C-alpha cells in the first residue's frame, strides 16, 4: 500500500476513535439527563444519628497537621466526628472541555445540641490522596449550624483519631467500600504533605463563588454546595459532620446530595 | 558454546533506556498548568518517538514505554501507581505499530503526527479503563471523553510533529545513523 493511502487510513482510524469517544460522551450524558429527570435517581440520601459519631472527643480534624474544627484557626473544644460519603463528586477542570459542576447538599437537623461543623474531604481517583477545605487563611470555607437541644450522654463507642498524615476513618454510611484491603465501613485518608491539598475543595452557599466562604447559621434546615477548583478527578467525596456536644437520642441529620452542572 | 546475539545491541539498549528515563523525567518534572486533558502528551511522546526512530526495530517503542512505565510505577507521583505501567507501555506499543506501518519514516511530520496522536489517544483509553477498573463512577469520568479525545489527539499530534522535526534534523546533520531515512523528508 502506498504511503498516501496509509496516511489516509491512519487518519481515518484516529477520526473514528474520536467519533466513538463523542458517541460515548453523548450517550452517557443523555443517560445522565434522563436519570436526572425521572425523580432524580442520582440524588443520594444519608442519615446520621447519634451512633454515627465514631471519632472523638478531639479538638482537631484530619489533615497533614491537625486543623481546627470550629470557627477560627486554632483547634479547641471537644468535638465528635462523623464521616458520610455523599455519593456524588464535584467535577473541576476546564469548563469549555468537560461538564464541570458542584455537589448540592441539603441538610435537615433534628434535635441538634450545640454547634455542628461541616467539612469536606475528597479522595483523588485511584488512590488515597485526600483534599479538604481550607480552615484558615485566604480561601477559608466552612459551614456551622447551632442548635438548642439539650445534650445527651457522651457516646461510649467513640474514640479519638490518632494524629498523623494517614487516617483510617469509620464511615457513617457503609453501603459500599471500594478498597478491599480495609475492613468494611472504613476508608483511608492520606495527606501527602503540609500545605498541600487545601485549595481544591470548597464549601459555598453560592456556586458562582467557587472558593466558598464561612457560613454560621441557626437554621436547622439549609443547603450548600461543594465546589472543586482542582484539575484532577475526585473519586469519592465525604462530608465530615462534627458536633461539640454529645447528641441526644432523638438527634438526626438528614442529608441529600446531588451533582449540579455549572452554568455555562 | 554458541553465543546468540541479543535482539537489541548494548548501544540500543542503553539508548532506549535513556529515552525511557527521559520520558519519565519529562512527565514528572514539567507540569503545564493548562487544565486541558492530554496536554502533557506534547512533551512525553518526544522520547518515545525519537527513541523508536533512532533504533528502528520492532519493539523499540515498547521498550521505551516499559522502562518509563516501570519508573513511573515505582518512583512516580501519578495517581495510578503500579497501573501507570499499562498506559506507558500501551503508548510505546502504539508508536511501534505506527512506525512499522509507515516503514519507520518517523522523520516525516505527518507520520510523527499520527504516531504521537495515536499514542496519546491509546494512553487516554487505557487511563479511562484503569479508572473504571478501580471503581471510579463511570458517569463522572466518561462525561467529557469526546472533548478529551480531541485534545489528546491534538497535543499528542503536535508532540509527534516536533519529534519528527527533531529526528529529521538529527538524520540530516549526520548526528545519528541514517540508514534509509530519506533526505528530502
Chain A residues within 8 A of B109 when measuring between CB atoms: none
**pLDDT cut 70: percent of chain B above it:** 86
In angstroms, rounded to a whole number, what is the distance separating the alpha carbons of residues A139 and A214?
A: 9
Chain A: give the shortest CA distance to residue B22, in Å.
24
Model confidence at A183: pLDDT above 70: no
What is the model's pLDDT at position A97? 61
- φ/ψ of A24, rounded to 5, equals -60, -45
Find the domain containing A7 and state its range: 1-41
Which of B168, B39, B28, B156 has its CA nearest to residue B94? B156
Which of A105, A128, A95, A43 has its CA nearest to residue A240? A105
Query: Do residues A90 and A220 both lie within one domain?
Result: yes
Chain A: give the shortest CA distance to residue B17, in Å.
28
Query: Do residues A65 and A20 both lie within one domain?
Result: no
What is the model's pLDDT at position B178? 56
Q: What is the ipTM of this complex?
A: 0.84
Q: Write the pLDDT tens digit of every residue in A221-257.
A: 999 999 998 877 788 899 999 999 999 999 999 999 9
Q: Total structural domains in chain B? A: 1
In angstroms, rounded to a whole number, what is the distance separating the alpha carbons of residues A35 and A58?
A: 41
Q: What is the mean pLDDT of residues A125-148?
A: 88
Query: Do residues A159 and A86 both lie within one domain?
Result: yes
Lookup result for grid cell 487518519: A11
Query: Do residues A86 and A103 both lie within one domain?
Result: yes
Q: How far apart are the first and last CA of chain B?
A: 45
Whether B105 and A3 lie within 8 Å, measured CB to CB: yes
- Give the CA radius of gyration of chain B: 17
Residue of A nearest to B80 (CA): A126
Q: Write the pLDDT tens digit of every residue in B121-174.
A: 999 999 888 878 877 767 767 877 888 899 999 999 999 999 999 999 988 888
The most confident of the ranges A190-199, A235-244, B21-30 is A235-244
Query: Do residues A77 and A6 both lie within one domain?
Result: no
Find the domain containing B104 and state its range: 10-26+36-172
Q: Total structural domains in chain A? A: 2
Structural contact between residues A251 and A152, judged by C-beta atoms closer than 8 angstroms: yes
In angstroms, rounded to a whole number, what is the distance separating the alpha carbons of residues A131 and A200?
A: 7
In angstroms, rounded to a whole number, what is the distance separating the alpha carbons of residues A161 and A100?
A: 34
Query: Do residues A20 and A85 both lie within one domain?
Result: no
Q: Give the C-alpha distances (Å, rounded to integers) separating B109 from A179, A260, B12, B27, B165.
A: 45, 43, 24, 23, 7
> Between A119 and B133, whose confidence is greater?
A119
> Between A8 and A176, whose confidence is greater?
A8
CB pairs under 8 A between A and B: 113
Chain B residues within 8 A of A32 when measuring between CB atoms: 139, 143
**pLDDT cut 90: percent of chain A above it:** 50
Amino acid at each position: 500500500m502506498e504511503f498516501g493511502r496509509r496516511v489516509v487510513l491512519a487518519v481515518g482510524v484516529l477520526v473514528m476513535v474520536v467519533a466513538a469517544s463523542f458517541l460515548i460522551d453523548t450517550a452517557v450524558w443523555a443517560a445522565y439527563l434522563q436519570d436526572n429527570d425521572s425523580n432524580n435517581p442520582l440524588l443520594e440520601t444519608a442519615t446520621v444519628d447519634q451512633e454515627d459519631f465514631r471519632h472523638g472527643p478531639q479538638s482537631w480534624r484530619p489533615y497533614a497537621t491537625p486543623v481546627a474544627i470550629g470557627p477560627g484557626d486554632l483547634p479547641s473544644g471537644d468535638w465528635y466526628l462523623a464521616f458520610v460519603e455523599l455519593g456524588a463528586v464535584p467535577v473541576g477542570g476546564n469548563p469549555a472541555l468537560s461538564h464541570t459542576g458542584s455537589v448540592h447538599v441539603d441538610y435537615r437537623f433534628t434535635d441538634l445540641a450545640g454547634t455542628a461543623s461541616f467539612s469536606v474531604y475528597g479522595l483523588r481517583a485511584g488512590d488515597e490522596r485526600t483534599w479538604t477545605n481550607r480552615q484558615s487563611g485566604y480561601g477559608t470555607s466552612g459551614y456551622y449550624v447551632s442548635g438548642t437541644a439539650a445534650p445527651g450522654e457522651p457516646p461510649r463507642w467513640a474514640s479519638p483519631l490518632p494524629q498523623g498524615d494517614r487516617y483510617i476513618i469509620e464511615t457513617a454510611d457503609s453501603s459500599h467500600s471500594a478498597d478491599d484491603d480495609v475492613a468494611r465501613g472504613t476508608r483511608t485518608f492520606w495527606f501527602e504533605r503540609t500545605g498541600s491539598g487545601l485549595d481544591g475543595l470548597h464549601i459555598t452557599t453560592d456556586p458562582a463563588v467557587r472558593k466558598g466562604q464561612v457560613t454560621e447559621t441557626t437554621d436547622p434546615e439549609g443547603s450548600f454546595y461543594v465546589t472543586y477548583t482542582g484539575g484532577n478527578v475526585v473519586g469519592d467525596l465525604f462530608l465530615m459532620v462534627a458536633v461539640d456536644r454529645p447528641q441526644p437520642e432523638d438527634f438526626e441529620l438528614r442529608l441529600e446530595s446531588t451533582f449540579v452542572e455549572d452554568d455555562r | 558454546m554458541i553465543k546468540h546475539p541479543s535482539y537489541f545491541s548494548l548501544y540500543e539498549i542503553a539508548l532506549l533506556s535513556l529515552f525511557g528515563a527521559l520520558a519519565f523525567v519529562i512527565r514528572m518534572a514539567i507540569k503545564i498548568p493548562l487544565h486541558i486533558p492530554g496536554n502533557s502528551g506534547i512533551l512525553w511522546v518526544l522520547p518515545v518517538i525519537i527513541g523508536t526512530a533512532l533504533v528502528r526495530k520492532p519493539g523499540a517503542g515498547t521498550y521505551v514505554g516499559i522502562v518509563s512505565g516501570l519508573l513511573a510505577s515505582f518512583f512516580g507521583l501519578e495517581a495510578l501507581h503500579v497501573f501507570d505501567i499499562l498506559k506507558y507501555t500501551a503508548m510505546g506499543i502504539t508508536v511501534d505499530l505506527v512506525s512499522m506501518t509507515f516503514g519507520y519514516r518517523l522523520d516525516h511530520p505527518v507520520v510523527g503526527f499520527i504516531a504521537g496522536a495515536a499514542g496519546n489517544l491509546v494512553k487516554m483509553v487505557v487511563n479511562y479503563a484503569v479508572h473504571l477498573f478501580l471503581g471510579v463512577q463511570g458517569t463522572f469520568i466518561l462525561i467529557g471523553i469526546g472533548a478529551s479525545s480531541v485534545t489528546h489527539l491534538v497535543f499528542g499530534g503536535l508532540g509527534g510533529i516536533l519529534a519528527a522535526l527533531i529526528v529529521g534534523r538529527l538524520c540530516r546533520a549526520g548526528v545519528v545513523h541514517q540508514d534509509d531515512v530519506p533526505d528530502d523528508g
